[in-house]
Amino acid sequence: MRIKGFSLTAVSFIVFIVIGFSSKTFGQISSDVTVQARTSALKDLITSVEGQPKEPIRIFKTKDGYLRFIGAPPSTHFAVAAGTPEQAADEFIEKWRNLFVNESPFVDFEKIRVKTQKERSYVRYQQIYAGLEVFGAEMIVQVNEICGISN
């Protein structure tokens, strides 16, 4: 599929997270089962990396185990279906959202901006809790074309 002059047969992601509160802010304490499920999901995300990594995946977590940042190593990418950068970012967030925030029907992400520079697109989301914007809580998903791109 060709979109705006480049092929999206493979994409890579770098996800930046700025979460303005911890998972316990709203009185929800993670159980061992939830932590184990999150650990298992993180292993699944790590094993979804395609390509030959020459260095480890960059991961930063909060004290309670939520991801604050994850980045695929240069010349690799997290597996995701091809589509527009926005579709790829939406799919990534939908599939892996519980690694970043509490599993709650009140937590959502609203797309606020898409910026494209050369072969990279940056899709920015605002975190929403119960219909209200969470101050300082945004997520940026960087989508790259793999051919000729090294992070």
Who wins on pLDDT, 30 or 87?
87
Q: Does the pLDDT value for residue 11 go beyond 70?
A: no
pLDDT digits (tens, 9 = 90+) for 46-63: 988 888 888 888 999 988
Query: Could you tell me the residue ranges of all domains in the chain?
Result: 2-145
The closest alpha carbon to 138, from 127, 149, 123, 122, belongs to 127
Distance CA 101, CA 108 (A): 9
Give tens-digit pLDDT for 91-140: 999 999 899 988 888 999 999 999 988 888 899 999 999 999 999 899 99
Average of per-residue pLDDT across 18-33: 49
Distance, in Å, from the CA atom of 89 to the CA atom of 126, rounded to the nearest integer, reads: 13
Q: What are the CA-CA distances from residue 79 to residues 35, 87, 122, 138, 146 (Å)?
A: 23, 13, 17, 23, 12
Mean pLDDT of the chain: 77
Q: Give CA 122 to chain center in angstroms.
A: 11
pLDDT at 5 (0 to 100): 45
Residue-level pLDDT at 6: 40
Sequence-distant (6+) residues with CB within 8 A of 117 are none
User: What number of other Cβ atoms are within 10 A of residue 147's Cβ?
Assistant: 10
